Amino acid sequence: MSRTWAFASNYLIYSAMFVYTLSFFAHAIETAWAVKVPTDTTKTLDYKRTEKVARIATAMMILGFILLFAGVIARGISSSRVPWGNMYEFSITGALAFTGAYLGALRKYDLRWLGLLVSISVLLTLGTAVAVLYRPSAPLVPALKSTWLVIHVSAAIISGGVFLLANVIAAAYLYLDNMEAKGERTAWAKRLPSLEVLDQLSYRLVAFVFPLWTFAVIAGAIWAESAWGRYWGWDPKETWAFITWVAYAAYLHARVTIGWRGRRAAWLCLFAGSTFLFNYVYVNIWGTGKHTYSGL
């Protein structure tokens, strides 16, 4: 029975990858074909030409999200627990959270220009997960058997998804800023909203999710107290979670209290986000400490 669910989960995730690939191509076509070259040879953008493709791209993204969601659920059923026991499972759930953050933000803001980046990063994450990180579905080790797994890990994964989205937007800000400084704009850059909107958007996302990250760290501390006998022990994962927290706290202070905007704020945002990524990749794979379980 559990095998069937595990297979179902794998197929769902492969299907999600296929659909994300379609979404990626649709976004690519949208970006490329929106450029029209009229007779006077100045390039202009005409989105009416690509509106249909853009809709398909977003529809595929939603379908991919649903398939991936089902895949994650099936993975959980196959081992009768929440699917957050190893790095493969963190990665598929992380990809889900990232798409979810994008689709959620899409309801409120016109973010379709971001679709190209979102679909390719989700594809890369899922590809790595399937090819490198895959582990057969198995029960949890005793230390992970706790209600706090659900609370701590879900908060951490959602925070991660939103942090990364804020990072992508900050990177887009820097890219666009460079373009404007040079006085040129590529096809993709033309799709971007104004610098001010990008700047505000990445801040808004960080401010929204910073309390959740704080909660994830505190929930982790409460869990660590009952599992390991101390709520804080400077384990590498804890240390880097703290560094991420400090970096985003500095980012929020820099913006709200000192009034940093634009390039400096974007760089600080990127720095903070990279500490999160480092924690996820380095500490999980090469790190030592109490957060490493059963291989990966």
Partner 1 sequence: MSQQTELPELDSVGVLRYAWRQLTSMRTALILLLMLGVAAIPGSLIPQRTQNPIQVSQYFKDSPALAKWMDRFSLFDVYGSPWFSAIYILLFISLIGCVLPRTIEHFHAARALPPATPKNLSRMEHHSTWAANGTELDVARAWFKTHRFRILEKDGSISAEKGFTRETGNLFFHLALILVLLGISFSSLFGMRGEAIINVGERFVNTPTSYDTLTYGKLYKDSNLPSFMLTADKFVAQYNIETSSPEDYTLNVSLLRDDFSVVEKKVIKVNSPLTIGSTRIYLQANGYSPVVTVRDSKGDVAFQGPVPFLPQDSNLRSIGAIKVPDADPQIGFVGSFVPTYVRDPNGGGAQSAFPKALDPRLLLSAWLGDLGLDSGIPQSVYRIDTSAMQQIGLKTLKPGETFTYEGGSITFEGYIQWVNLNFVADPGKKFALLGGIVAILGLLASLFTRRRRIWIRVGSEVEVAGLAKNAAPGLEIEMEQFIRVLKGDK
By CB under 8 A, name the binding residues for partner 1: 136, 138-143, 145-146, 200, 207-208, 210-211, 214-215, 218, 221-222, 225-236, 239-240, 242-243, 246-247, 249-250, 253-254, 256-258, 275, 283, 287-289, 294
Task: Give 228's Cβ-side CA count (13 Å radius).
Answer: 16
| Nearest CB to partner 1, comparing residues 21 and 200 | 200
Q: Which residues touch 186 (CB under 8 Å, ≥6 apart)?
A: 179
Nearest distance from residue 207's CB to partner 1, in Å?
5
Nearest distance from residue 279's CB to partner 1, in Å?
9
Answer whether 261's CB lies under 8 Å from 181's CB.
no
Nearest distance from residue 154's CB to partner 1, in Å?
16
| Nearest CB to partner 1, comparing residues 3 and 55 | 3
| Nearest CB to partner 1, comparing residues 10 and 200 | 200
Place of tokens 């030592």: 288
Nearest distance from residue 186's CB to partner 1, in Å?
30
| Nearest CB to partner 1, comparing residues 43 and 253 | 253
| Nearest CB to partner 1, comparing residues 46 and 196 | 196
Angle at which helix 195-228 crosses helix 262-278, to 10 degrees, equals 30
Place of tokens 């820099």: 254
Nearest distance from residue 9's CB to partner 1, in Å?
18
| Nearest CB to partner 1, comparing residues 186 and 214 | 214
- Angle at the Cα of 129 from the Cα atoms of 11 and 241, rounded to 5 degrees: 135
Nearest distance from residue 135's CB to partner 1, in Å?
9
**E runs forming strands in 1-112:** 35-36, 44-45
Which whole-number Å values give the CA distances from 47 to 30, 33, 41, 44, 113, in the listed order? 8, 9, 18, 10, 12
Answer whether 178's CB lies under 8 Å from 32's CB.
no
Of 244, 188, 197, 182, the residue nearest 217 (C-alpha): 244
| Nearest CB to partner 1, comparing residues 171 and 243 | 243
Task: Give 186's Cβ-side CA count (13 Å radius).
Answer: 11
Nearest distance from residue 89's CB to partner 1, in Å?
15
Torsional sign, CA 71, 73, 76, 78 = negative
